[in-house]
C-alpha cells in the first residue's frame, strides 16, 4: 500500500464523524452549534486542498512535463465534488442550531460520498503513474511549491488539529506500525496544548485524540481539557512553544500546511 493513501485519512474520516455525530447533538443547541462549526472546518480543509492541488500542483506538473491536460481527470473529479461541498458549506453557514436536522446533514453527506470516495481512491494511482513522465525529484519540488502555498493560507489552529485528530496509530503498513504524519512526537503535544486550544470544544468530533488513539466514547458532552491551573498551563504552553520553535523547518512547514 503506498504511503500516499494515509494522507487521505482526514478527508475520509472527518465527513464520517459529521455523519456519526449528527443525531447525537440534536438535543443540545450548544453541541449542534459546535458541530456546524466543525462542519465548516471540514469543508474548508477539503476545498483548500483541492484549490492548492489545481493551482500549484497539477498546473506545474503539466508545465514540467509539457503535457497539457495530463491531470485533467483529477481536476474533473474536483468539479464533480464542488456541488456536494458547496451544499455542505451552505448548510454549515446557513443553519441555526434550532433549525438543525440530522437527517438533512446526513443526506448532504450521502450525496457527496460517492464522488469523494471515487476521487480519494483514484487520485493516488494517477499520481503514482506519473513516473514515466516526471522524475521523483521534480515531483517533490512541485509538491513543495504547493506546500508553501498551503502554509501561507492555512490556519494552524484548525487544519493542524483536524489532521492530527483523525489518525489511527494502530494502523500497520506492511505489518509494521507507521507514524503519520511522519513528524517528531513533540508536534502532537504542541498541537494538543497550544494550537488546538482556541477551538478546544470542536475536537471532540475528531475520530482520535492528537496522538492517534481512537476514541471509544460515543460523544463527550463535557468540555475537553479542563481542570488545569492557569499558572501550570501557562508554563506548559511556554515550554511547548519553545520546543515548537526548535523543530526542523520541515516540521514547521507541515504544521502550516497540514496538507492532506
**Residues 6 or more apart whose Cβ sits within 8 Å of residue 19:** 105, 106, 109
Domain that holds residue 211: 3-257
Residue 243 pLDDT class (50, 70, 90 cuts):
low
| Domains of the chain: total | 1
Q: Is the pLDDT of residue 154 over 90?
A: no
Residue 215 pLDDT class (50, 70, 90 cuts):
confident
Q: Is the pLDDT of residue 84 over 50?
A: yes
The mean pLDDT of the chain is 82
pLDDT at residue number 10: 65
The most distant pair of C-alpha atoms in the chain lies apart, rounded to whole Å, by: 59
Lowest pLDDT segment from 123-127, 161-165, 232-236: 232-236
Q: Is the pLDDT of residue 253 over 80?
A: no
Say which CATH number the domain at 68 has. 1.20.120
pTM of the full structure: 0.79
Mean pLDDT across the stretch 149-177? Answer: 84
pLDDT 10s digits, 123-147: 888 888 998 999 999 999 998 899 8
Q: Is the pLDDT of residue 206 over 90?
A: yes
pLDDT at residue number 240: 52
Amino acid at each position: 500500500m503506498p504511503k500516499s493513501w494515509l494522507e487521505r485519512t482526514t478527508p475520509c474520516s472527518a465527513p464520517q464523524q459529521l455523519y456519526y455525530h449528527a443525531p447525537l447533538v440534536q438535543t443540545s443547541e450548544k453541541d449542534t452549534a459546535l458541530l456546524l462549526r466543525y462542519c465548516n472546518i471540514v469543508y474548508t480543509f477539503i476545498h483548500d486542498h483541492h484549490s492548492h492541488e489545481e493551482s500549484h500542483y497539477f498546473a506545474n506538473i503539466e508545465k514540467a512535463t509539457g503535457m497539457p491536460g495530463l491531470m485533467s481527470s483529477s481536476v474533473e473529479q474536483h468539479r464533480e465534488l464542488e456541488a456536494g461541498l458547496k451544499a455542505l458549506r451552505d448548510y454549515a453557514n446557513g443553519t441555526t442550531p434550532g433549525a438543525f436536522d440530522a437527517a438533512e446533514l446526513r443526506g448532504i453527506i450521502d450525496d457527496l460520498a460517492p464522488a469523494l470516495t471515487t476521487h480519494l481512491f483514484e487520485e493516488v494511482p494517477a499520481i503514482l503513474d506519473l513516473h514515466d513522465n516526471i522524475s521523483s525529484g521534480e515531483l517533490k519540488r512541485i509538491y513543495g511549491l504547493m506546500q508553501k502555498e498551503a502554509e501561507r493560507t492555512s490556519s494552524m489552529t484548525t487544519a493542524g488539529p483536524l489532521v492530527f485528530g483523525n489518525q489511527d496509530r494502530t494502523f500497520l503498513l506492511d505489518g509494521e506500525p507507521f507514524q503519520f504524519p511522519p513528524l517528531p512526537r513533540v508536534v502532537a503535544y504542541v498541537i494538543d496544548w497550544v494550537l488546538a486550544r482556541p477551538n478546544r470544544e470542536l475536537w471532540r468530533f475528531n475520530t482520535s485524540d492528537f496522538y492517534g488513539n481512537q476514541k471509544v466514547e460515543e460523544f463527550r458532552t463535557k468540555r475537553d481539557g479542563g481542570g488545569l491551573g492557569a499558572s501550570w498551563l501557562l508554563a506548559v504552553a511556554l515550554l511547548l512553544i519553545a520546543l515548537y520553535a526548535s523543530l526542523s523547518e520541515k516540521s514547521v512547514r507541515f504544521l502550516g500546511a497540514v496538507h492532506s
